[in-house]
Amino acid sequence: MPEILIQNIDIALTMDDQRRRLSAVDLRLRDGIIAEIGSDLSTTGERISGRGCVVTPGLVNTHHHLYQNLTRAVPGAQDALLFGWLKRLYPIWSAFTPDDIHVSAQLGLAELAFSGCSLTSDHLYLYPNGSRLEDTIEAAGDIGMRFQPTRGAMSIGESAGGLPPDSLVEDERAILDDMIRVVDRFHDAAEGSMCRVALAPCSPFSVSRELMRDSALLARDKGVMLHTHLAENDEDIAYSLAQFGCRPGQYAEDLGWTGPDVWHAHCVKLDAEEIDLFARTRTGVAHCPCSNCRLGSGIAPLRAMRDARVPVGLGVDGSASNDMASLISEARQAMLLQRVAQGADAMSAYEALEIATRGGAEVLGRPDVGQLAVGKRADIAIWDVTGVASSGSWDPAALLLAGPAQVKHLFVEGRQIIRDGTLATMDLPGLLERHQKATTRLMQLA
């Protein structure tokens, strides 16, 4: 891959081990990594101006359901709590085709890229009408996003006392077989990997205890990570106590769902004992503040988790419960929500940005990204701070207080994904047209 020099950067927030903030600096990218950081660097390749810009590591999104980009702001689901929201949307999702999953993922990944995201996880837990995990993996390849797809699953349908319709659940043996298939086919454990697969039963209330246990055993056997939804709201806790006779943290621990190779979405209702468990075991959390606000789930104990050194990253969550998927806005929301709970000094703009970059990389087991340092992968977000949103700022590095909501440039593995505010890897108008067409078809069916 040709060399690129990003030169004369106003401020680089490195998120490196020393948390250095560098001024008037150049970054040289080569072969997918950051080859050199310094002043007056030379290059044989392209030069990109960093003047008037703050440069950060690419943001990391630790929880998403890309397929939901086709069901944003659905009437009847706009103001419902989690379980009612799911019951409204399940019948619509059951009409999805493989093409729907693919175009929805392309659109969702483009949206994330504009907001500075260079690595995202995705939790696909329903496979209607022949859909497969590769429908999203191909989309990540189309956009050029570093990807951590998770093979999700639901197995307890309505007839067995579960929430989803029977048409959206799968047989547990078939789920395990497909988990093995996608790991063997798509998981790349190498440093700089563009695709790492994880295993992800949807939630403790949509699969059996046996599937939770077996998927954990399988993940350890294959050396891949584990992901699910946990302790999202009060109903979730009540369900756990009634059905399993214990809190979600205990349930997770009993079934092998703690450790540095596990991350749980939400965790809004973790108590002090569970926070301690997560800290001791290095179990990660995907904090999704906008979704938690949108569904009225509550304020996650982010401050307490950070103070206890629980690994925490950010997640935009699915686009049916946000309904925007701007990762930079999510970071701002995380900061604001802790301030609502605990006062203006509860979380700084810088700390929230650290959670959005280095924090997310740690949660996803990717020490090769999330910071600007020589030898790390060249995943870089460049923010123009000369525009309307930043004008008047005395500290442009405080991006989450006064800064643009979209990147000027975005690099993933040294490849330019966003160039001068436009998508460089795909025809965006064409993508929007296909996405709208799919949305219209689903609206007509509903």
* Smaller CB separation from Zn ion, 56 or 115: 115
* Smaller CB separation from Zn ion, 27 or 290: 290
- Residue 236 sits in the site that holds Zn ion (CB under 5 A): no
Minimum distance of Zn ion from residue 286's CB (angstroms): 8
- Residue 330 sits in the site that holds Zn ion (CB under 5 A): no
* Smaller CB separation from Zn ion, 66 or 176: 66
Minimum distance of Zn ion from residue 80's CB (angstroms): 15
* Smaller CB separation from Zn ion, 317 or 323: 317
Minimum distance of Zn ion from residue 64's CB (angstroms): 8
Minimum distance of Zn ion from residue 123's CB (angstroms): 6
Task: Mark the segment that binds Zn ion (CB under 5 A) among 44-52, 199-207, 292-300, 310-318.
Answer: 310-318
**Which 3-state string (H, E, C) describes the chain?**
CCCEEEEEEEEEECCCCCCCEEEEEEEEEECCEEEEEECCCCCCCEEEECCCEEEEECEEECCCCHHHHHCCCCCCCCCCCHHHHHHHHHHHHCCCCHHHHHHHHHHHHHHHHHCCEEEEEEEECCCHHHCCCHHHHHHHHHHCCEEEEEEEECCCCHHHCCCCCHHHCCCHHHHHHHHHHHHHHHCCCCCCCCECCEEEECCCCCCCHHHHHHHHHHHHHHCCEEEEEECCCHHHHHHHHHHHCCCHHHHHHHCCCCCCCEEEEECCCCCHHHHHHHHHHCCEEEECHHHHHHCCCCCCCHHHHHHCCCCEEECCCCCCCCCCCCHHHHHHHHHHHHHHHHCCCCCCHHHHHHHHHHHHHHHCCCCCCCCCCCCCECCEEEEECCCCCCCCCCCCCCCCCCCCCCCCEEEECCEEEEECCEECCCCHHHHHHHHHHHHHHHHHHC
Task: Mark the segment that binds Zn ion (CB under 5 A) among 54-62, 270-278, 312-320, 403-411.
Answer: 312-320
Q: Which listed residue (170, 317, 354, 384) binds Zn ion by CB under 5 A?
A: 317
* Smaller CB separation from Zn ion, 262 or 372: 262
Minimum distance of Zn ion from residue 335's CB (angstroms): 21
Residues that bind Zn ion (rule: CB under 5 A) add up to a total of: 1
Minimum distance of Zn ion from residue 65's CB (angstroms): 6
Minimum distance of Zn ion from residue 287's CB (angstroms): 12
* Smaller CB separation from Zn ion, 261 or 317: 317
* Smaller CB separation from Zn ion, 317 or 368: 317
Residues in contact with Zn ion by the rule CB under 5 A:
317
